[in-house]
Amino acid sequence: MSNWGIISAMFLVVVATGVVTYIFQDLFKGIKHYLTTVGVAFVLSLICVHILPEVFHSHVPNIGAYLLLGFVFQIFLELFSKGIEHGHVHHHAGEKHYSINKTLVSMFFGLCVHSLIEGIPLFILDAAESHVGHGHGHSHSVVHATEGFSTVFFWAILGHKIPVAVVLMLFLIQSKLKKSTMIWLFILFASMSPIGGIIGLSMDNAAAVNELSSILLAVTTGMLIHVTTLLVFEEYHNQKEKIKNIVLIIVGLVLGIFVFV
């Protein structure tokens, strides 16, 4: 598949998720918790098994600091996104009249920034490999040079993006916006990671692309680590359905371990 085919696929999968959620909104209201838990555990597994080894294979000094930067940056973004990346929106305790529309702009801004940033490393990882020219392979490599993009990172983005798309569509429905406004907002959200991918493609011949790609991958991975670990711990400590949540988490982790074996 071409790079533009990959970008189109990422966009269309998210849009299709929104359409299906809109049509079967009552069903998805009931299962969004399960989708989110499995999806986030799947992404966490991919991070631990495939992506982190690639991050630390980098020769960029203090690469771990960029992981922490991404982790902290995600905390900052959640001041705007209200935690929708976790599969739900945080409602502040004591707010008797919580206004959905009042928080929609800031939430949408945070969510779009997150999506844009996580799409950038998708293709420039391959460009980095071509610039390094060391002539050796990585046993845990995220990059598949024959395909021209990071297969594992692509699935990590989708595994995280699909549950978020479900929650966002349900939130937009709940907001009682005009249908045309709701459609355009959702299309904008679906476009963010593909736009990030296009930015990455434009960096294909940029100077110092190897170091830049490693830094961006570390920052994005730090953001995803924050999102995934927080939700996994939230679900684990949910006493009401603790056994069910543990099973769902294990299912997601196992899928991530074996999907690229």
- Tens-digit pLDDT profile for residues 226-252: 888 877 776 555 556 778 888 888 998
Of the listed ranges 96-100, 160-164, 195-199, 234-238, the one predicted with least confidence: 96-100
What DSSP letter does each residue of the chain carry, written as one string? --HHHHHHHHHHHHHHHHHHHHHTHHHHHHHHHHHHHHHHHHHHHHIIIIIHHHHHHS--TTHHHHHHHHHHHHHHHHHHHTTGGGTS-PPPTT-SS--HHHHHHHHHHHHHHHHHHHHTHHHHHHHHHHHH------TT-SEETTTTEEHHHHHHHHHHHHHHHHHHHHHHHHTT--HHHHHHHHHHHHHHHHHHHHHHHHTTT-TTHHHHHHHHHHHHHHHHHHHHHHHHHHHHT-GGGHHHHHHHHHHHHHHHHHTT-
Whether pLDDT at 138 is above 50: no
Quote the CA–CA distance of 142 and 106 in Å, as a whole number. 33
Q: What is the pTM of this model?
A: 0.78
Provide the β-strand partners of residue 143.
150
Provide the token pair at 251: 């299912």
Are residues 62 and 211 in contact, defined by beta-carbon separation less than 8 angstroms? Answer: no
Question: What percent of the chain clears pLDDT 90, i.e. is strictly above it?
Answer: 20
Quote the CA–CA distance of 15 and 236 in Å, as a whole number. 30
Of the listed ranges 21-30, 66-75, 116-125, 133-142, the one predicted with least confidence: 133-142
What confidence score (pLDDT) does residue 213 get? 77
